[in-house]
Structures are given as structure tokens and as C-alpha cells.
Amino acid sequence: MNNMRGKMLSGKRYNTLNDELFRKFGEKVSKIAIDGGFTCPNRDGTISSYGCLFCNEKGSGDFSSALYDIDKEINNQIKINQRKWNTNKFIAYFQAFTNTYADVETLKKKYEICITRENVVGLAVATRPDSFTEEIYDYLEELNDRTFLWVELGLQTVNEDTSKLINRGYNLDVYEECISELKKRNIKVVTHLIFGLPYEDKTDMLNSVKFVANTNTWGIKFHSLYIQTDSRLYDYYIANQFKLLTKEEYVDIVALAISYLPKEMVIHRLTGDANKKLLFKPEWCSDKLSVISSIDKRLKELDLYQGFNYNNNME
């Protein structure tokens, strides 16, 4: 445990993104959320017209700017983050909707504006594993040689019944093929998981964690399921009243999940970040800092840390 914690600049029992970026760049680095004006094959009729069940009108980009003038977006976000974090190094984060769902020339126009900025030291691209072409893979490989790049994939669960219920729109083998292609090109991959999806139990959630741990991708994000009034999930919940996780249940699951990860994996997020004006349930999701504090406390109580149970995954 002492050796493990000695590597954590924050003193946490897990490897945070803040720590990882500080080790890489020698100072605080902040993400700036950019809305690139993309859509999604799960919304435009290519796969479906409904989107994922939990996704809201902003395509999970509640905290990104929606000017669609990327240069102005960057300027605005940098000013906000400089005041908030007192830093001058930034990762441009294309967050809303599916940010590889376009031809390569369109991607170049949007991405290059960001990485040519002197104080933008990296690029993060949130997307779907079914929204790549060979040309896009090749362009990302080229980008990876020029900037600090990672690609985020919304897996959410490995339970195929759940994936159909939430209308994810692709099978698990599509995700596996995508991460294989990205890893062949040495591109860092971050996987999103959601805890508390309808009718999933603790075993289902930990199975998803163990699966991602064994892919040994660079990073992972944990999200708590929350219901916003501008999502189809709101209507589904009103009609079905499925069980929602309590704060205590969520904290316990995340603490265990952390223990099943390889110690080098970078944890980008521990909980969701709901728009308080639109949040319906659970109410505890409105206090992100309290949830994180409770997770830290639970890890300490159980004397768990990242990597503690990882070898139990390797079957």
C-alpha cells in the first residue's frame, strides 16, 4: 500500500487523471469542453432516431459550449478555466454527441484549430466504437504523434440485454474491435461505464468493470445513472419505476470497482455530473464532491486501493 500511494501525487488510493497529467506536463492541466456541432448515428436515423435511453438533448454535453465556432469556444473556455484553476495548459475535450461521426476533412478542420493553439497540450475525443473508418484511424494515429491524444468510448455495460434496453446500438464485439484498432496505433482509450442502469445488479456492474480491466485500456470513467427531465430515461422511469441506486450502494460499488482495476489505469471520473436544473432523481447525484469524498472514505474503511483485487480478474 505504501508503494502504491507513493505514486499518487494527490494521496488518493487510485490513479487520478489530475495526477497523470501532472506527471506528464509538470503542472495542473485543465480540460475545456468543446461542442463541435456533431450529431450521432443513433439519432440521425442511421442506427435509430432515439439515441441512448439516458442521453439528453445535448448529447451528454451539458457543460460544453455550443457556439459551434470552435475558436471562440476555446477562448471562452480558457478564460473560465484560467480563473477557476489558475492554469495555462489545457486539453481540448470534444464531448457532445459522436465526435468521429464525419469525414476526415471535417474532423481535421475541427481538431486542428485546437491543437495548433500554444496552450492546448492535448486532445480528447468522445465517440462511439461504431463510428470509425480506416481513414479516421490513420488520422488519429498521425494526431497521436503530434499531441497528447485519447479517445473515449461509451460502452456503459457488457450486459447485452441491458445494451438493447438502453438502445446502445452496437454489440460488444464492435467495442472490442475498435479498441484493438486503436491500441495497435498506440492511441490511448478511455472507457465509460454507467452504474445503476435499469435492472442491473452489483454482479452485472462489477462484470463490466472486470471486462474493461482485462482489456487494459489506458483509462476508465465511472458514471452514476441519473435521470434528467430532458431525456427519454425520464419517461421510461415514470412508466416503469425501476430501482435506483442509493448513494451508499453506489459508493460501495465504486470502491470495489477501483480495487479490480490494474494500478496503472487512469481513473478519469468517479461519478456523474448532473445538470442540477434538470435533475429528477436520484437527488444525491447533485452533490458530486460529497459522493467523491464518500468513495475516498469507503476505500480507507475497507483498506482497498486500485489494483488490490486485480489479479482476481485474470482467469
174: number of Cβ within 10 Å: 16
Cα(20)–Cα(30) distance, integer angstroms? 12
* Among the ranges given (73-87, 102-116, 174-188), the one the predictor scored with the smallest mean pLDDT: 73-87
Helix/strand/coil for 29: coil
Report whether 47 contacts 41 (CB < 8 A): yes
Cα(93)–Cα(122) distance, integer angstroms? 9
Residue 123: inside a domain? yes
pLDDT, residue 155, reads 97
* Among the ranges given (81-85, 186-190, 298-302, 307-311), the one the predictor scored with the smallest mean pLDDT: 81-85
Is 188 a residue whose pLDDT tops 70?
yes
How many domains does the chain fold into? 1
Cα(85)–Cα(29) distance, integer angstroms? 9
pLDDT, residue 3, reads 44
- CATH code where residue 72 lies: 3.20.20.70
pLDDT, residue 9, reads 64
Residue 232: inside a domain? yes
Helix/strand/coil for 93: strand
pLDDT, residue 220, reads 98
Is 62 a residue whose pLDDT tops 60?
no
Residue 200: inside a domain? yes
Residue 314: inside a domain? no
Residue 294: inside a domain? yes
pLDDT, residue 85, reads 86
Confidence band for 5, pLDDT divided at 50, 70 and 90:
very low
Residue 196 to residues 107, 199, 227, 249: CA-CA distances in angstroms? 34, 8, 11, 9
pLDDT in tens, 233-267: 999 999 999 999 999 999 999 999 999 999 999 99
Report whether 225 contacts 54 (CB < 8 A): yes
Residue 41: inside a domain? yes
Is 114 a residue whose pLDDT tops 80?
yes
pLDDT, residue 72, reads 87
Residue 158: inside a domain? yes
The CA-based angle 139-147-129, given to 5 degrees, is 45
Residue span of the structural domain in which 143 resides: 2-306
Q: What is the longest distance spanned by two Cα atoms in the chain?
A: 52
Mean pLDDT of 34-42: 92
Q: Which three cell numbers stand for residue 237?
A: 422511469
Q: Give the mean pLDDT of the chain.
A: 91
Residue 312: inside a domain? no
pLDDT, residue 258, reads 98
